[in-house]
């Protein structure tokens, strides 16, 4: 059983782990309050304008949607088992994401900040290494490259 924030979970019950449209970072943060949580940690993975010395125009993310969704849910469930979290949500973009836009967001909240930081890092690390989501970088010189490493 997931120990979690039932009221917040209700509010974000419809949150898709994979989103083809822009992530509502500010809206998700605004909703991320829980009366028992003293610490909220938000991670936003954003598109950088350079990578490995190359100027980046934009990225495109591809996912196996059903498996990525299921795996992110499972990672969040594992985090809820490991730490007493009031809130734990994550969402990843697909499609074209431009420089400065958010490609992935993780929000965790707990009574004390150590757990919120640890769970947040755990969730993003596992999403990046395990979820079937890939990025293709489109560079300013017209070339492109499918990513095979984490860049943030």
Contact residues toward other proteins (CB under 8 A) are: 38, 45, 61-62, 64, 66-67, 70, 92, 103-104, 124, 127-136, 146-152
What is the nearest approach in angstroms of other proteins to the Cβ of residue 10?
27
Contact region with a second copy (CB under 8 A), list: 16-24, 29-37, 61-69, 76-84: 29-37
113: buried, middle or exposed (CB in 10 Å: 19+, 13-18, 0-12)?
A: middle
User: Which partner, a second copy, other proteins, none, binds residue 66 by CB below 5 to 8 Å per kind?
Assistant: other proteins
Asked if residues 86 and 110 have their Cβ atoms less than 8 Å apart, the reply is yes
User: Which partner, other proteins, a second copy, none, binds residue 111 by CB below 5 to 8 Å per kind?
Assistant: a second copy
What is the nearest approach in angstroms of a second copy to the Cβ of residue 20?
21
Q: Shortest CA distance to 73 belongs to which of 125, 133, 26, 127?
A: 127
- Which member of 7, 49, 66, 140 binds a second copy (CB under 8 A)? 49
Grouping H, G, I as helix, E, B as strand and the rest as coil, residue 133 is: strand
Query: How far from 33 is each of 15, 51, 80, 90, 106, CA to CA, in Å?
Result: 16, 35, 17, 15, 14
Instruction: Return the DSSP state at 1.
Output: -
Enumerate binding residues for a second copy (CB under 8 A): 25-26, 29-30, 33-50, 99-100, 111-113, 116-117, 120-121, 124, 151-152
């Amino acid at each position: 059983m997931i120990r979690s924030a039932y009221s917040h979970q209700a509010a974000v019950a419809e949150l898709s782990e994979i989103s083809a449209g822009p992530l509502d970072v500010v809206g998700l943060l605004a909703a991320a309050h829980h009366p028992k949580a003293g610490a909220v940690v938000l991670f936003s993975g954003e598109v950088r304008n350079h990578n490995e010395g190359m100027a980046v125009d934009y990225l495109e993310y591809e996912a196996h949607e059903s498996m990525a969704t299921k795996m992110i849910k499972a990672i969040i469930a594992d985090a809820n088992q490991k730490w007493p979290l009031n809130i734990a949500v994550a969402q990843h973009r697909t499609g074209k994401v431009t420089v400065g836009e958010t490609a992935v967001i993780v929000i965790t909240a707990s009574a004390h900040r150590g757990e919120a930081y640890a769970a947040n890092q755990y969730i993003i690390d596992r999403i990046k290494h395990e979820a079937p989501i890939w990025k293709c970088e489109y560079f300013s010189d017209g070339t492109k490259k499918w990513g095979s490493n984490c860049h943030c």
